[in-house]
Structures are given as structure tokens and as C-alpha cells.
A and B are shown apart, each in its own frame.
Chain A
Amino acid sequence: QKEVEQNSGPLSVPEGAIASLNCTYSDRGSQSFFWYRQYSGKSPELIMFIYSNGDKEDGRFTAQLNKASQYVSLLIRDSQPSDSATYLCAVTPYGAGSYQLTFGKGTKLSVIP
């Protein structure tokens, strides 16, 4: 059973701080890693994806991947109240089924003004 684990939170950070969201996965053969943001009552919105070990930056967001530790994280710099949402980590396997996203349950982030 391929699993993606996230702390459900809520994670509370003050406005302007760095929010750090973490995700571990069980399938060592996982190939691609995605972070989605989901506002309450809305559908998931793709924020970032990462395939290679290391860091990938996009604006205030940085995704970090460590395949040896089977760990992926999302850092949000200068957090804003509008960042308050549930953040879903998703992975796809290598090869057969590489289109199939396996999601964690999500971490609820609350940015306090």
C-alpha cells in the first residue's frame, strides 16, 4: 500500500513568518512530487511540483525533495493570511501508473494576522 503522510495540523504561523509543511512517502520508487493548495469548499490548486533532489523555488514558495529520506517539504516565505488553506502533498510512482496521484490527507495552515 503506497502511503503519503502529512501532519494534519492545524499549523499556525504569524503573518510574515516562514511556514514549513512536511510530507513523507512510503514508495521509494516515487518519481514526481506535487503540492496542491485547497481552500475550504474548493478544489485543489497546483502550487508546485518537483522531480529532482534538492530545492526548487517559485516566488514565495520553495519545494524541497530528499529521495533518500523519502521526504518532501514546502516552505512558504512571508506568509500571508490568504495562504491559510489545506496543503496537499501528492506523489506519482515511476513507470506503470505514473499518472496516478496518491495524496496525503493534507496539512491545515492558519496564518495569523
Chain B
Amino acid sequence: GAGVSQTPSNKVTEKGKYVELRCDPISGHTALYWYRQSLGQGPEFLIYFQGTGAADDSGLPNDRFFAVRPEGSVSTLKIQRTERGDSAVYLCASSPTLAGGGNEQFFGPGTRLTVL
């Protein structure tokens, strides 16, 4: 089926505003991940979902960041009181299973967030 999709592709906001970034994983993939990539860096892990629950949110930088996946498919990353340092490309990935050594993660096209 289709790959991971993310919307919007670009988001420009002002400092202090609230933003939501959406991810639609590959159909049937139970695991979903959010990463953040700054210019010249590799992606950095933010949060992992297995089904509906956030199994690991240790990568979220602070409590302004929150993510949900209420029905075990689409996920939304929410950022409150945005700061200029939040500007980056936010990548979503999904994988079919966590078990064993599989865990091949497939990335969506990303959302480029710019905080002015």
C-alpha cells in the first residue's frame, strides 16, 4: 500500500503558538515513531507508540511536546508555546513489528516546522 504520509509538509508559525503535526503510518504497521531532524544532523528519537499507547516518550525534549495515537493508526504530535529552537523537520516512521531484530522503520516525507 501507500507509504507513511505526513501533513502538513510545511508549517510556519510564530513563537508562542500551538501546532499539530499529523502522521498516517503504513497500513497494518503497529509501531509508530516520531523523530526530529535539524540541519546537518541525523534524526533524533522523540517518541514510540505500539498500538495506541506511548511505550516510550523519553526523547520528548520537554513538556511542551505531546503526542497521541487514539485509535492505533494516525498519530498527532502536538507542540505548545512553540520556540524558535523547535524549528526542524519532524519525521514520522512506522514498522510492522517490534519483535526480535526486525524493526525496519520506514519514514514519511516529514513536516518542516519553522518558528518565527
Interface residue ranges, A against B (CB under 8 Å): 4, 31-32, 34, 36, 42-46, 49, 51, 88, 90, 92, 97-106
Contact = CB atoms under 8 A, between A and B. Distances in A.
B33 A99 contact: yes
Interface size, B (range):
20 to 34
B31 interface: yes
Interface string B24-56: 000000010101000011111100100000011
Contacts of B55: 99
B61 interface: no
A43 B109 contact: yes
B103 A105 contact: no
A106 B43 CA distance: 10
Nearest to A104: B42
Residue of A98, A99, A101 most packed against chain B (CB within 10 A): A99
A26 B40 CA distance: 21
Contacts of B59: 100
A104 B106 CA distance: 17
